[in-house]
Structure 1
């Protein structure tokens, strides 16, 4: 983009009207730059595919195939896989490329135990920081989650659940905790998907999420933190029960 603009300048100068073409060019360039910035990166796209279960645990991730699938260069795909390895989603194998890292039940439980503390911190911070407009937003989200479970729309409930997790991190205004949680959550999403697809579990989960929202909107940091602890302990217990 910068090369094209750089080549256009001498032509404009030869016509002795450099200002005329330059004025409209800037907004167009800004719009194109904004559009590119809004597009998800290859790392984001592959991460989402792993999280959604499109690639199974231990499945090989072949750079040539990913390059063709996502329309990206091999170098870009290789960089994305290195980034995802740093997040714990991909495992790099010496002389054998990459594969989706399998997370055992025991490791998933350990991750949930860490999330319990960090998400509790975020919920407490959110309760201390939440504005009136954000209170209204969270209450609408609470109603939508309750309605989706009542209607048996577990796909929508799962989407709203993920949105709530992200919003609580945002409202905490705690960048370090948010970054940690983003990585931890992605690693065990497949285990939690097994639970969220069970109607009886959703009926329990939605009440726990409502309690978290109620504590945050009441601006009660201690209650918000405890509500998160109870919810994630319930997830741990349910995973153990499912495994047995």
Structure 2
């Protein structure tokens, strides 16, 4: 069942399965070469994670997250990612710092060349490495689940004009605070970055409103 759960989760994260899309057990069984029972159990687990929802008499579908919920999710991320940044500042070795700075330089180059998708991938890589360096496995698990729930809004955020230019200096500030082994500054920089995410999500929604 684990492979089926991972496969459906990745399909949601990658955008292959989109919000409100119906998930038909027979189709999933064929796609993931799994029994109907395994697919049913996987859908139940993913429903518990908040990635899908069961609809009476209509089966399962990918859960759509509203702006209000996306903001709540980001507020929780702000606290937990601040914790991870602080822990990373306390634990980072020289090799870790060098790697974070290298990612930062790659992000700078992506912004300069207008590579939005490359910047988005580097963004995920940076946040992932900070979580790993922090050693906070519980926090990492929670953040991965929250990220999966919020994937649609994260995509909109990545595509928002000018967003990389805004977030780049915020990411570089987090990196340098970790490099300086300044836990308070790292936590503050991470929170500032996530607060900016919330503000931008609200701007995107206002622009979409009729």
Distance in 1 (CA, whole Å) between partners of 2:98 and 2:121 is 19
Secondary structure at the residue paired with 1:88?
Answer: coil
Who is 2:47 aligned against?
Answer: 85
Alignment of 1:27-42 (within 5 A): 41-42=3-4
Quick one: distance in 2 between partners of 1:93 and 1:56?
A: 16
Shift in Å, 1:196: 0.6
Aligned to 2:29: 67
Unaligned runs of 5+ in 2: none
Q: In 2, Cα distance between the equivalents of 1:64 and 1:71?
A: 10
How big is each residue's C-alpha offset from its partner over 1:6-63, in whole Å with a ceiling of 9 and x where there is no partner? xxxxxxxxxxxxxxxxxxxxxxxxxxxxxxxxxx822122112112222221111011
Show the counterpart of 2:8.
Answer: 46
Specify which structure has the bigger relative contact order, considering alpha-carbon pairs within 8 angstroms and separated by 6 or more residues: 2
Count of equivalent residues: 205
List runs of 5+ in structure 1 lacking aligned partners.
1-39
For 2:172 and 2:94, the matched residues in 1 are separated by 18
What are the superposed Cα offsets for residues 156-195 of structure 1, whole Å, 9 maximum, x if unpaired?
Answer: 1111111112111111111211111111111112102112
Distance, in Å, in 2 between the alignment partners of 1:86 and 1:172 is: 27
Please name the residue that 1:4 is paired with.
none
- TM-score, normalised on structure 1? 0.80
Distance 2:111 2:161 in 1: 8
Instruction: Tell me, yes or no, if the aligned pair for 1:154 and 1:199 is still in contact at 8 Å.
Output: no
Contact 2:160 2:204 (C-alpha < 8 Å) held by counterparts? no
SS in 2 for 1:75: helix
Structure 1 stretches of at least 4 aligned residues deviating more than 3 Å after TM superposition: none
Q: Please give the alpha-carbon distance, in whole angstroms, between the structure 1 residues aligned to 2:62 and 2:170.
A: 31
Determine which structure has more spread, i.e. the larger CA radius of gyration: 1
